[in-house]
Chain A
């Protein structure tokens, strides 16, 4: 039985999620038993236009990116978006709160016109995506799970409950009790409360639960004397791109 051909691509990103793949260690060799990586620019010189599965990192921010992803989608049978930049726009989305001219100018001054840029969009805002691996960076066990599901042809359901569920299972002391607020209650879990396990708060990198309890959220904010604006500002760190319209 021929191996499934897999190709890795990246767009506007930090390549951290690809790096996580390299962090799999010797497990990577076991995976390579099942799949044939035909393109993975960061670590291989081989290239290919023939692949079954495309694993894509990064957001779409220029017309060139758009062309590339459409070509990839037309070739691949299965498209996996991994990392927040690809799945929800990630930190690249913060750019969208500015006018494109303004932000380009702020970085490049008079040379700004050499760096045309469009509002950041997640992959599924331009082409259909078959599997999502959320997180910034991805939680490696989840990538392995998704890959296994994809190879077995089973859909993967991203958990739709808040990070709080896993956080409590890990018996962390809730950071709210320490006088600090955290985006856990509105962020979808699946990362095993990685950041809270390490003493920090949740920054919402996996995107929001599909049915956040708006009223309840407002009550909690009032209770801890936090304004809605402030929370929205924090959420914008990862979740801004989904507002982007067609560029």
Chain B
């Protein structure tokens, strides 16, 4: 007599955005296994039509709160690409710093508030206030510090203010560089107990052979903002050809658009970056990775969280390096630029097509714009990392469920939830990857 299991998690908790897990097992046979995305669509690509290329950054930032810097920078990259503008080295440096801060912010939130409760056996950080008060305080403190550094650099983390096409509207003064440095050093201090805590986490054991996709580049940088599309399954592909990688398609049994490249699916995110760019991590990060048993190429999606921890170490160190660099070279204040609601015409526009590819905390993000002569957007396309992960998640679930059929219903449900959470999905971004319940189709 086989097992019958019916898992129906409505509005999965501790993920960004609204998703449902549906798993049906009959007679120990897996009948149905889906991650349904029930986020209300907002139609950003539609809304961008006919808006100025300079507004795109402001608007697309609002696709997602936690990846708002990522969207901003991807949008700016696509726009600058389309109108043929090359940002200055100083601008690129500061954008890299901004991306590090967002990566830190997002990863720390994920590790501490979204994943840790599962690994400590509680439903949220709230009970931890009593049992692990200093842990919760540290988590909130670190998260706030990331936000505070962003405040100094760009005004705020959520929907950054001073990062626009062409550069920055405000550049940090000497004092402000020192302030940011001080805060980064305090993060360094808090990072140590974080690593200690993470070392005690016992991640579920599970593996599936997967293709990993992330930005790769020829430089020494662990790439977040530049490079080509790298894959564990072949040579790098130029970012302009992103569509050949993402290959969005509709799966017959569900209408989530999935992505596949060489196989039925691929994975993006911290683990993918770690697997593809391990060599470029700062030495300290590599050491800690070894210490916690994380090596490239790791095929356990639950270890995405561990990879995030390693990236935190890297990002803090690299941010400090960038700021010390800025202090030494000085910040050229005359590069501050204001385009406003695009009237000064200080940046000339031309018709064109541009693609921006950046690594946001969750994986590779693409923005692609067609721009008219007047600098208006004709069409826009955004391919979100979480959307690229959906097929992979489903295939993971399909492999996992039969392997854990001997556990209780609650344990199976929790394992599935934890699996989805490990990917750190950002569901509300998934503008096109939407689905409604098709139980009756």
Contact = CB atoms under 8 A, between A and B. Distances in A.
Nearest to A96: B47
Interface in A169-225: 175, 178-183, 194-195, 197-201, 203
A236 B141 CA distance: 37
Interface in B5-41: 11, 13-17, 39-41
Contact of A115 (B41, B66, B140): B41
A117 interface: yes
Contacts of B435: 114
Given A25-B144, A28-B140, A41-B13, A106 B46 contact: yes
Nearest to B12: A41
A226 B435 CA distance: 43
Contacts of A203: 58, 341
Contact of A62 (B40, B125, B338): B40
A43 B65 contact: no
A239 interface: no
Given A115-B41, A198-B161, A203-B58, A181 B155 contact: no
A95 B43 contact: yes
Size class of the contact patch on chain B: 35 or more
A180 B338 contact: yes
Interface string B231-273: 0000000000000000000100001000000000000000000
Nearest to A179: B344
A111 B340 contact: no
B59 interface: yes
A211 B113 CA distance: 44
* B59, B66, B68, B168 interface centre (most CB from chain A within 10 Å): B66
B161 A195 contact: yes
B129 A29 contact: yes
Interface in A58-85: 58, 61-62, 64-65
Interface string A127-152: 00000000011000000000000000
A15 B67 CA distance: 10
Nearest to A58: B40
Interface stretch (B93-101, B293-301, B304-312, B426-434): B426-434
A95 B46 contact: yes
Contacts of A237: 55, 58-59
A44 to B, nearest CB: 3
A87 interface: no
Interface of A: 11-20, 22-26, 28-29, 32, 37, 40-47, 58, 61-62, 64-65, 90-92, 94-95, 98, 102-104, 106-108, 111, 114-115, 117, 136-137, 175, 178-183, 194-195, 197-201, 203, 226, 234, 237
17 contacts: A19-B66, A22-B143, A23-B143, A24-B140, A24-B144, A43-B113, A44-B14, A44-B124, A45-B13, A65-B40, A91-B59, A104-B41, A107-B43, A115-B434, A179-B344, A199-B336, A200-B338
Interface of B: 11, 13-17, 39-43, 45-47, 49, 55, 58-59, 62-66, 68, 109, 113-114, 117, 123-126, 129, 133, 136-137, 140-141, 143-145, 147, 154-159, 161-162, 164, 168-170, 250, 255, 336, 338-341, 343-344, 428-429, 431-432, 434-436
Given A12-B39, A44-B124, A199-B169, 14 more contacts: A16-B62, A16-B64, A45-B117, A46-B124, A65-B40, A91-B47, A104-B41, A106-B43, A106-B45, A107-B431, A117-B43, A137-B65, A194-B161, A199-B162
